[in-house]
């Protein structure tokens, strides 16, 4: 893949870092812009109260998923 580059540390070859390439950055940025465009399209016909309700429900879903992961002993979501 040419989306990222791998760099090893000189002091310890077991440690390496990944860095997005220009192409990787463009892909990530494109996905981000697409997400926001879709979200805006979905929400533009809702009232402010409905938007607030959707936000509260989604926050609750994310919280429940984080709790479930913690209970399952998995790494937490970002």
Higher pLDDT pick, 53 / 74: 53
**Geometric angle at alpha carbon 16, from 78 and 74, rounded to 5°:** 30
Q: Could you give the 3-state DSSP secondary structure of residue 16?
A: strand
- Tell me what pLDDT residue 58 has: 87
- Tell me what pLDDT residue 46 has: 93
Domain extent listing, the chain? 4-72
- Tell me what pLDDT residue 47 has: 94
pTM of the shown model: 0.46
Backbone φ, ψ for residue 16 (5° rounding): -140, 160
- Tell me what pLDDT residue 69 has: 78
pLDDT digits (tens, 9 = 90+) for 42-72: 889 999 999 999 989 989 998 888 888 777 7
User: Burial of 24 by CB count in 10 Å (0-12 exposed, 13-18 middle, 19+ buried)?
Assistant: middle
Backbone φ, ψ for residue 63 (5° rounding): -60, -45
């Amino acid at each position: 893949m040419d989306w990222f580059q791998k760099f090893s540390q000189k002091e310890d070859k077991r440690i390496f870092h990944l860095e997005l390439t220009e192409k990787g950055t463009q892909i990530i940025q494109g996905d981000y812009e697409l997400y926001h465009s879709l979200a805006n399209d979905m929400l533009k016909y809702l009232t402010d109260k409905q938007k607030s309700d959707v936000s509260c429900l989604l926050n609750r879903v994310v919280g429940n998923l984080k709790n479930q992961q913690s209970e399952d002993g998995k790494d937490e979501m970002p």
